[in-house]
């Protein structure tokens, strides 16, 4: 199996931006010339881990924004962004 040759998975020291950049690299590799099945699966698994990491970061950021708005005591109202924003 070639998973040992794959780049590191999402680690705590990763930033959101680094995770997105690595996801882009993974997509390019998967869309490029044919890969061995083992390598494709390893890249896919890494991509899923990175996607979950990025989703967690986004959820935390959303919670922080909501908390800041709630603490402001103003008459702010939270609304979902329209799709495609």
Judge whether 42 and 3 are in contact, CB under 8 Å.
yes
- Alpha carbon of 57 to those of 8, 16, 35, 52: distances in Å? 18, 7, 30, 9
Closest CA to 47 of 74, 72, 21: 21
pLDDT exceeds 50 at position 71: yes
List the single range of 21-25, 41-45, 69-73 with lowest mean pLDDT: 69-73
Comparison of pLDDT for 50 and 84, the residue scoring more: 50
Comparison of pLDDT for 9 and 49, the residue scoring more: 49
**Is 22 part of any domain?**
yes
**Is 79 part of any domain?**
no
**Is 63 part of any domain?**
yes
Please, which contacts does 76-81 make with residues 24 or more away whose CB atoms are closer than 8 Å?
A: none
Judge whether 43 and 26 are in contact, CB under 8 Å.
yes
Threshold 0.85, pTM exceeds: no
Number of domains in the chain: 1
pLDDT exceeds 50 at position 6: no
**Is 38 part of any domain?**
yes
pLDDT exceeds 60 at position 30: yes
**Is 80 part of any domain?**
no
Domain of residue 46 covers: 14-71
The stretch 52-64 carries a mean pLDDT of: 92
Which pLDDT score is estimated for 81? 59
């Amino acid at each position: 199996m070639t998973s040992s040759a794959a780049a590191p998975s999402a680690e705590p020291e990763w930033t959101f931006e680094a995770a997105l950049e690595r996801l882009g690299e993974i997509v390019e590799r998967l869309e490029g010339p044919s890969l061995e099945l083992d390598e494709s699966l390893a890249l896919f698994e890494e991509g899923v881990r990175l996607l979950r990491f990025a989703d967690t970061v986004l959820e935390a950021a959303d919670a922080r924004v909501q908390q800041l708005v709630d603490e402001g005591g103003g008459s702010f109202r939270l609304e979902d962004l329209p799709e495609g924003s």
